[in-house]
Amino acid sequence: MPTPNEKLADSLSALQELQSGGRRIFKSSDLSRVHRERLLQHGFLRDVIKGWLMSTGPQAQPGDTTPWYASFWEFCGRYCRDRFGNEWLLSPEQSLLLHAEATAIPRQVIVNSSKGTNNHLELLSGTSIYDLKVKDMPAAEDLAQKNGLRVYVPDAALVKVTEAFFQRSPLEAQVVLGAARDVSGILGRLLDGGHSAIAGRIAGAFRRVGRDGFADEITKTMKSAGYDVRESDPFAEQVYVPAIVAGVAPIVARLNAIWDSQRGAITEIFPKAPGLPADKGRFMKFVEDIYESDAYHSLSIEGYSVTPELIDRVRQGGWNPEIDEKDRQSRDALAARGYWQSFQKVKDSVSAILDDAPPGALVREQHRDWYRELFGPSVVAGILKPSALAGYRNHPVYLRGSSHVPPRSEAVPEGMQALFDLLEKEAEPAVRAVLGHWLVGYVHPYPDGNGRMARFLMNAMLASGGYPWTVVRVEDRNQYLAGLERASVDMDVRPFAGFLAERVQWSMEKAG
């Protein structure tokens, strides 16, 4: 007779077959009742709604949103295909958000369908789907597939969204307007539909972001067809809408728009930069002296159990995985050793910056060295594969407890290139520090260590303005992460900038 472990193994084998190709969402009928109940009991499956399941793991804690957020869009696609066949697509607004690389998980997704019933379907973690009944489905040329979801193409969505979209999601609107390579697709839809008021709005939007040629083409063509077009600015309530760089990848346009729209808040909040120190030795002595506190807090924020004694043993060379089996197997000791090695590299970078090396260019060149040192000990000990040091991630990531989902791995190289371009062009050290930190976490380029790398970059950029090394304390973790969440989801950097400004002020007073 099979043992309980053997029975569970059989059920896991059945689940593994379903998970081929990375699937996480299943219908209850995909598994036998016995397998389904056993996997639910042991925490390998979780109910989403009646008849639908998602794969998870026994290690998931109550209230952990990560498994659901990782499955959210797959569920939306599979559920809608099962219920509506091909008679559905995401709303024009949600379509534009996805085209603009807005990755935050929305509270509600509106689905347009001729088979809709205007029904509100409650899902996990406060999310929902609303199926809006529409009379006619759009023509084939208005539709696209994006990551398994049926969406409006950008030109069609721009014609369909209301003025409120430009005011509610100005950054996303700017990204989509900037990505347009030609206005003919928009114009054709405006002309065929006789949309003179919408034409005036879209022309005004293009003009506000610096694309006067597109604005003129829309108004002139509509008027030549006999339509009375009165240009209006849908961004009117936005204090600042920057001119955008046309024709760039959405992730690049998005980071540029974030930077331009958020930098002013930081210059208002942050204390004035002291300037490069006259006494470099004193500045670097402060960096050396604060290492133990920085390592303890930075590693503890990431969940490592690190003690001052362990940090001191690593610094003194008492950590040796070749001799001490406990060190070889200790995740915390490996993390502490990697942090010490990486800190030395960052310290060298800070020293060069104090000698007036251009900070953005220097960090672009040296940040990979920081990363290799951070995880080198884990590779040497055999805990990580050597490929872990190769560089940026090549898989999706999901952040525990956050509704922000980092960009697709395919967008990471362009995103990081854009970030370093922005760092190099920025004149204000505080802006480089705050936005550099936030946007490293936003892009989340590495398989692991993103928080530590972001704090290293922040301190290198702070040094470029003469600000002292600043520690983010583990006791402030909730406020720190809440600030990052507010920035990444709501596009409001003020809480995060205010928090860092307080920590920097504390360091300035301590450094004297």
Q: Is the pLDDT of residue 466 over 50?
A: yes
Q: Is the pLDDT of residue 313 over 60?
A: no
Q: pLDDT per residue over 127-181, tens digit each?
A: 999 999 999 899 999 999 988 899 999 999 999 999 999 999 998 999 999 888 8
Which of residues 75 and 398 earns the better pLDDT score?
A: 75
What's the pLDDT at 318? Answer: 60
Which of residues 198 and 302 earns the better pLDDT score?
A: 198
For the segment 118-129, the average pLDDT, to the nearest whole number, is 96
- Nearest one of 318, 139, 177 to 257, comparing CA atoms: 177
Which of residues 97 and 58 earns the better pLDDT score?
A: 97
Q: How far apart are CA 98 and CA 47, in angstroms?
A: 26
CATH of domain 250-511: 1.10.3290.10
Q: pLDDT per residue over 243-291, tens digit each?
A: 666 778 889 989 999 999 999 999 999 999 999 999 999 999 999 999 9
The top-scoring range by mean pLDDT among 207-216, 319-328, 453-462 is 453-462
What's the pLDDT at 341? Answer: 95
Q: Is the CB of residue 287 less than 8 Å from the CB of residue 316? A: no
| Percent residues over pLDDT 90 in the chain | 69
pTM of the model: 0.84
For the segment 74-90, the average pLDDT, to the nearest whole number, is 96
Domain residues of the chain, as ranges?
A: 4-60, 68-152, 166-244, 250-511
CB neighbours of 213 closer than 8 A, spacing ≥ 6? Answer: none
| Percent residues over pLDDT 70 in the chain | 91
Which of residues 316 and 460 earns the better pLDDT score?
A: 460
What DSSP designation does 58 have?
Answer: T
- Nearest one of 102, 269, 274 to 171, comparing CA atoms: 102
Residue 306 identity (one-letter amino acid): V
- Nearest one of 348, 351, 342 to 464, comparing CA atoms: 351
What's the pLDDT at 84? Answer: 96
What's the pLDDT at 463? Answer: 97
3-state secondary structure at position 308: helix
For the segment 423-432, the average pLDDT, to the nearest whole number, is 97
